[in-house]
């Protein structure tokens, strides 16, 4: 068994015009997150956890933000592409646990769809991916609504050498 950790953060855009996408779900919000891709910090943190467990570096190395191919990329697609590399390395996904930290909007009603999307990208069932949401109790940059932070851990199993 191999465990990996992932972290990501993205800033909210100043004005309107960016969608808020988390875990592949478009969430109604007056503001979206800034990023080269779709800025899906949940998918990014999980991708880093999965790559980390496999010892395959990180999302920035695999999909450099300087590469125009990944501009406005669907981050679930990046997760799928990363997982293909993991499978090629002889590993298979077992489970992941994710905590999203932001003040607004509240995510409770979107968590199940996020789980479905993320597990699907890893060719796994809903129950293998847990997604939890918390506020930062009004403290610091998250508390001021400047952005979102996401923590993820992933477990993989080596099934081939």
Interacting residue ranges for Mg ion, rule: CB under 5 A: 8, 44
Answer yes or no: are the C-beta atoms of 34 and 12 closer than 8 Å: yes
Q: How far apart are the first and last CA of the chain?
A: 13
Question: Residue 44 or 115: which CB sits closer to Mg ion?
Answer: 44
Question: Residue 8 or 103: which CB sits closer to Mg ion?
Answer: 8
Q: 119 is written with which tokens?
A: 């597990």
CB of 28 to Mg ion, least distance (A): 21
Question: Residue 21 or 129: which CB sits closer to Mg ion?
Answer: 21
CB of 8 to Mg ion, least distance (A): 4
Cβ burial of 105 (10 Å; 0-12, 13-18, 19+) is middle
CB of 158 to Mg ion, least distance (A): 27
Cis peptide before 105 (omega within 30 of 0): yes
Three-state secondary-structure class, residue 39: coil
Question: Residue 34 or 158: which CB sits closer to Mg ion?
Answer: 34
User: Residue length, the chain?
Assistant: 161
CB of 149 to Mg ion, least distance (A): 11
CA separation for the pair 118, 56 (Å, rounded) = 19
């Amino acid at each position: 068994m191999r465990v990996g950790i992932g972290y990501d953060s993205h800033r909210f855009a100043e004005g309107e015009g960016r969608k808020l996408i988390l875990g592949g779900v478009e969430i109604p919000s007056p503001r979206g997150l800034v990023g080269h891709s779709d800025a899906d910090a949940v998918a990014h943190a999980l991708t880093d956890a999965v790559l980390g467990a496999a010892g395959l570096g990180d999302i920035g190395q695999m999909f450099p933000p300087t590469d125009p191919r990944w501009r406005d990329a669907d981050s679930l697609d990046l997760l799928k592409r990363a997982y293909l590399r993991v499978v090629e390395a002889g590993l298979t996904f077992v489970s992941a646990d994710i905590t999203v930290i932001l003040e607004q909007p509240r995510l409770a009603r979107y968590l199940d769809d996020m789980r479905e999307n993320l597990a699907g990208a890893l060719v796994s069932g809903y129950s293998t991916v847990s997604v939890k949401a918390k506020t930062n109790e009004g403290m610091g940059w998250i508390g001021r609504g400047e952005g979102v932070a996401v923590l993820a851990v992933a477990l993989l199993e080596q099934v081939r050498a």
